[in-house]
Amino acid sequence: MGRWRREVEEVVIDRAFWRGKRVFLTGHTGFKGAWMTLLLHSLGAKVSGFALPPEHEAGVFNVAGVAADCVNQYGNINDPAALAAALVQCQPDIVLHLAAQALVRRSYAQPAETWMTNVMGTVHLLEAVRQVAGIRAVVIVSSDKCYDNVGRERGYDESDALGGADPYSASKSGTELVAASYRRSYFADPAGPRIASARAGNVIGGGDWAVDRLVPDAIRAFGSGAALRIRAPASVRPWQHVLDPVLGYLRLAERLAGDDGVSVAEAWNFGPEAASEVSVGAIADRLVGLWGGTAHWSRDSAEHPHEAAYLRLDCAKANSRLGWHPALALPDALKLTVDWYKAFADGAAMRDVTLAQIDRVLTLSTRQALQ
C-alpha cells in the first residue's frame, strides 16, 4: 500500500461511542455520504439516511450496496415536512448534515437551486432538529470554499471572514451563517443539542463520478484513451482522501455529545497537512503515473467561470483541540483512490473493496473501549 501517515497508537475515533448510536444522515446517497454510511455501519451505528436518489449509477452508494446498511429514505431537504417526518421517525442521538449542491460549476448554471439547497435546506434541517427531543449533537458540513478567498497563500483558519464570488462558495458561507445563527438563537441551552459546522478540503476517493471534478474527469478520460483536460493546472487546493474529513466529522460529533460539548460547538476546519496542498497539475501528473498505459493530460485553454487560484486550510485548531489528524498522506490517498477505480474497471466486488479500504484506514483512527 505504501507508507501510512500515522501510527496505529494515534487515535481519533472511539468505536464504543458509536456502537448502537442512532444517527440521522442527510446526503447519504452522495459520494461523501455513502462512505460515511459504510463507515458508521462498520462502527456499529444505526443509520437512517435521507437524500435524493443516487445521481450516478456507478457511485459508491450503488456499487457498494450501501442501502443495505441503513434505513434508506429518498427525499429532498427542500421538502421540510418530509425531512421533519424522517427525523422524528429516526429519533436520533446524532445528526450529520451532508446533503448539498456540491459543485462550483453547477452553481453557475443553477444558482437558485444551489442557494435553496445549501442555505434553506440547512434551515429546514435545523428547524426539524428543534422539534425532536434527545438529539445530542448536530454537525453541519460546509466547505473550505466558504471563506472570502482573497488570493493569499497562507491557510484560512476559522476566524477568517466568510464570503464567496461564485454562487456555490457564497451559498456555503450562507450555510455557516445559518448554523451560527441557530446555535446562538435556539441551541444555547447546554442541555440541548450542540451545533457545530465542519469545513473540509477537496476530497478524493473511489466512487466519485461527478462532472467537473478532477479525479472523476481523469478516470473517464483515461478509460477512454482521451486526454484529461485541465482548466487551471497551477491552481492549488487542499487534497485529502474522503475518509479523513469524514473521520473528523465523527470525532467532532463525539466531542459535541460529551460532557464538554458546548466548548466545541463552533466552526472547524478538516484539511490535509501542508504537503498535500499542491497544484492541480501536480495531482494530474500523479494520477497519470498511477493509472499508467496511455493516460495523459493537456491544458484546456477555453474560457471558464472564475475559480480561486489558491485555497489552503489551517487545521491547527482541530489538531490541538480535537486530537484529529489526517490518517493518509497524499501519495497514499491517491493510490487508494486509483486502486478503487482500477478494481471497478476490472469488475471486482466493490462492496468488498470499499469495506477493505475503510478497515485499513479505521485501524489508524480508532480505539476500542477499555475492558
Q: Which of 108-112, 203-207, 248-252, 367-371 has the lowest mean pLDDT?
A: 367-371
- Which pLDDT score, from 0 to 100, does residue 251 have? 97
- Which pLDDT score, from 0 to 100, does residue 323 have? 92
Q: What is the CATH number of the domain that holds 49?
A: 3.40.50.720
For residue 370, pLDDT beyond 90: no
In a domain, 286, yes or no: no
Placement of cell 492541480 in the chain: 280
- Euclidean distance between CA atoms 51 and 205, whole angstroms: 20
In a domain, 303, yes or no: no
pLDDT tens, residue by residue, 309-337? 678 899 999 999 999 999 999 999 999 99
pLDDT bracket for residue 125 (50, 70, 90): very high
DSSP 106: H
In sequence order, what are the beta bridge partners of 198? 141, 268
Q: Is the separation of the CB atoms in 118 and 100 below 8 Å? A: yes
In a domain, 212, yes or no: no
| Residue 365 phi, psi dihedral angles, 5° rounding | -130, 10
- Which pLDDT score, from 0 to 100, does residue 201 have? 86
For residue 123, pLDDT beyond 50: yes
- Euclidean distance between CA atoms 207 and 34, whole angstroms: 9
pLDDT tens, residue by residue, 232-260? 898 888 899 999 999 999 999 999 999 99
- Which pLDDT score, from 0 to 100, does residue 7 have? 41
pLDDT tens, residue by residue, 51-103? 999 999 999 999 999 999 999 999 999 999 999 999 999 999 999 999 999 98
pLDDT bracket for residue 5 (50, 70, 90): very low
- Euclidean distance between CA atoms 251 and 244, whole angstroms: 11
* 249 or 5: which leads in pLDDT: 249
For residue 4, pLDDT beyond 70: no
Placement of cell 446498511 in the chain: 69
- Which pLDDT score, from 0 to 100, does residue 307 have? 64
In a domain, 113, yes or no: yes
In a domain, 216, yes or no: no
DSSP 370: P
In a domain, 279, yes or no: no
- Which pLDDT score, from 0 to 100, does residue 61 have? 98
In sequence order, what are the beta bridge partners of 23? 47, 94
* 7 or 254: which leads in pLDDT: 254
- Which pLDDT score, from 0 to 100, does residue 11 have? 55
pLDDT tens, residue by residue, 139-181? 999 999 999 988 887 899 999 999 998 999 999 999 999 999 9
What's the domain count of the chain?
A: 1
| Residue 51 phi, psi dihedral angles, 5° rounding | -170, 170
For residue 8, pLDDT beyond 90: no
- Which pLDDT score, from 0 to 100, does residue 305 have? 63
What is the span of the domain harbouring residue 88?
13-204+239-273+310-365
Mean pLDDT, the chain, integer: 92
For residue 369, pLDDT beyond 70: no
